[in-house]
Chains A and B, each alone.
Chain A
Amino acid sequence: MIFTSFNFLLFFPATVIIYYLTPVKFRWLTLLFASYFFYICTKPVFALLLAGVTLSTYIFTRLIDSTSIERRKKLLMQINVCLILFPLFFFKYFSGINYAILVFLESIHVRLDLPDIKLILPIGISFYTFMAIGYTVDVYNEKIRSEKNLGMVALFISFFPLVLSGPIERAKNMLPQFNAIKPANYEMIVQGLKLMLWGYFMKLVVADRLGIYIDAVYGHVSQHNGTSLLFASILYPFQEYADFGGYSIIAIGTANVLGINVIQNFKRPFFATSMSEFWRRWHISLISWLTDYVFTPLSFTFRKYKTWGIVIALMITFFLSGLWHGPALTFIVWGLIQGILLSIEALTNRKRAGFEKKHNLNRKGWYIFAGICVTFILFSASEVIDRATSINEAYHVFHRIIATRGTLFIGTPSTLIFSGIGLTMLLLKDFFDEFLPSRMLLFGSKHKFVRIMAYSSIIILILLIGVFDGGQFIYFQF
């Protein structure tokens, strides 16, 4: 079951009604049942894996909490991290490693007729594994106490709004909320519904419509000229944002309707003026997770190298970020590029900040605009590698963008027209939220009539130009 399926439109209201009819004390139980039901609807057998990760995390965090011997605590933490990482590695990287070994053996003329093993990645495994690891490490670091109730741990790891694609939440934010579920809150429910509506708009009207064009171009790279490839490459980051950002907003809204607060995952990333700022606005939950559990410990380890220590920590962190996306070389190169760009910023940060301060550039519109454009160009260029199926294809895309010209591929004109309408609305909303937060409030207008008309118009727009036969969310593959 996914958020854009008709099943979810039946499941969610039913869950909300049952949830609020359940006595407050037992609401967490309703959520747990709903979460497992939701996950079982995707592929029942993978719920066993989810339960296994939960059980392992519960047992080990309890053991960590009950021991006072530091070495033993560390060992228990490491065992659990390895245990819960094993399924992720197995399902995500086994086929890739197997294939790489076969290719290597073939290159040295050793031919093994092994069956081609293709494993289906359990949906959401990368997300709930990171949540479980975060919880284990937090208990080890004594940031939180281990949860005594197995059901609560199960709910934290399987909470249905987050289980498929995040945001990657932290136990210290979620467990207290599950333990003390509050009575229904009107403001929060309304806020949640608004977020859900906007998330559906982003996904169905913007992301899936842009996807039709981008897939048509990137699906046949050799048949398209540089103009079309450049245009598709510019559009791709917007598709990703509308897709994953839309998903995240639906997830946050869904949780809000149930009275649960979840961290923000995207914060108008295309208005960032530098790559470091961009990564504080894009997939925030993953980046903050990597910062806390990878970058910070690494930069502490490499502190004697000063700025270069930060560079090493950045490169390793983003290498892992690339690897998290998948075992393909494209993702690793993509991660390393992000690491390089951020390292350059880290190395030049002091000089740049001094220069900006001296000339008062941070308050100048043209400088902010130039920063936004440069950041977008850098990110879009790196996304070509992320989107391509291989490094070779990415090279061809770049080569064709530089070397070939021609008329822009239009395909079905309505695809670009509807994409334009959706994207303009999305960027306008982000623009106002970023620079003029008190203007153009439609969902947040003081006037009820304006609010009702705004909600209704978005629903009608989704019905009119939303893509109902679209694919899955891009981030489900990770």
Chain B
Amino acid sequence: MIKKIILNIALVGIVVFVLDFAIGRTLRYFYFRESSGLHFRSTYAMEQTRADILVFGSSPAVHHYIPELFESTLNMTFYNTGRDGNGAFYQLAVLKSVLKRYKPKIIIFDWSDTFKKDVSSYDRISSLLPYYRTHPEIRDIIEYKSKFEKVKLLSEIYPFNSEVFTIAIGNLNVNKQRKPDNKGFVALYKEWQCKINAIIPNPKYPVDTLKVNSFREFIVLAKEAGVKVFVIYSPMFLKFNRFQEFDICSKVCAEQKVPIWDCSRDTVFLKNNRLFQDIGHLNYKGAVIFSKQILEKIKTENQVKTPTL
């Protein structure tokens, strides 16, 4: 009986192994063949870009920095590596992959994440899974997700879990028309219609030291590579109570002697419906004003050094 059970389980195991290998490899092939969309932008940021100015961060980063303005004003090339919903871990992983290849001149780190201990931040590391095999420099970050990640990654399908549809879309031209990006920047064109007056409370939370350390490591690595780093708090429609993360951010930035600019309380933007698409994201009009502001600040700092390549 035991022999029969083991034999049947082995049979299922073999079929699963073959299917997993075939489907996983196919997905991998098409994942790295994508020519637009989230996956493509991540791959491009980690494996191809050689831009002088790189923007890091989550969704505000993706929507707030106009490439043409930066390129024409600073006379440098530009790429936006931001990815929606991804915090310190993802940014650090992308930076490590970038620094393995070359040294950019300026890094704008748009910090909109919190340092709160929450499972979802670790779940988001999933977006790095396709790169585990080819990017040994980011493996330690991926293993933050769980201690079993190495074992799970024995499956060829696992890194592409829930991505079938996105991979298919990324390989079609339709995606370029539906959600086009310009050097990683995705413009938003709607205006925020809702009226919200309340200040959203943000109670004190337990800090995730791993996130703080990743944020610090990001700045240290960039500085060690001779890159000029600017940490920015993007404008918000409302005044959020973000004292806790701002305190931590300021402390790390002060200790690393990196400028930090809090634009989340800038009255040009606060409660200005015309400049926002939603409470956390500027529309194109807002992004133009904000990009110009940041460029002014960078010019004022006027400390851009040419790194040695």
Contacts and interface: CB of A to CB of B under 8 A. Distances in A.
B12 A452 contact: yes
A478 B154 CA distance: 36
A455 B12 CA distance: 7
A452 B20 CA distance: 15
Contacts of A173: none
A452 B11 contact: yes
B158 A463 contact: yes
Contacts of B161: 463-466, 468
Contact of A189 (B5, B16, B157): B5
Contacts of B250: none
B99 interface: no
A73 to B, nearest CB: 46
Interface in A446-462: 452-453, 455-457, 459-460
Contacts of A190: 5, 8
Nearest to B160: A464
B126 interface: yes
B242 to A, nearest CB: 20
Contacts of B305: none
A362 interface: no
Interface string B259-270: 000000000000
Nearest to B151: A6
Interface residues of B, number: 30
B123 interface: yes
A460 B23 contact: yes
Residue of A184, A457, A464 with highest tally of chain B CB at under 10 A = A464
A460 B19 contact: yes
B134 interface: no
A465 B165 CA distance: 10
B16 A414 contact: no
Contacts of B157: 460, 463-464
Nearest to A212: B162
Interface in A425-457: 452-453, 455-457
Given A189-B5, A463-B157, A6 B166 contact: no
A413 interface: yes
Contact of A467 (B11, B148, B155, B162): B162
Interface in B122-151: 123, 126, 146, 148, 151
A361 interface: no
Interface residues of A, number: 25
Interface string A400-424: 0000000000000110011000000
A20 B2 CA distance: 10
Interface in A146-173: none
Contact of A463 (B2, B123, B126, B155): B155
A463 B8 CA distance: 20
A186 interface: yes
A463 B20 contact: yes
Nearest to A187: B1
A469 interface: yes
Given A414-B162, A452-B15, A464-B164, A469 B126 contact: yes
Contacts of B19: 456-457, 460
B152 interface: yes
A465 B119 CA distance: 20
Contacts of A466: 161-162
Contacts of A469: 119-120, 123, 126
A186 B1 contact: yes
Interface in B1-47: 1-2, 4-5, 8, 11-12, 15-16, 19-20, 23
Interface string A185-215: 0100110000000000000000000000000
| Residue among B12, B123, B164, B166 facing the most chain A CB atoms (10 A cut-off) | B12
A460 B1 contact: no
Closest 4 CB pairs of A and B: A469-B123, A414-B165, A456-B15, A463-B157
Given A184-B1, A452-B15, 4 more contacts: A6-B146, A6-B148, A186-B5, A465-B162
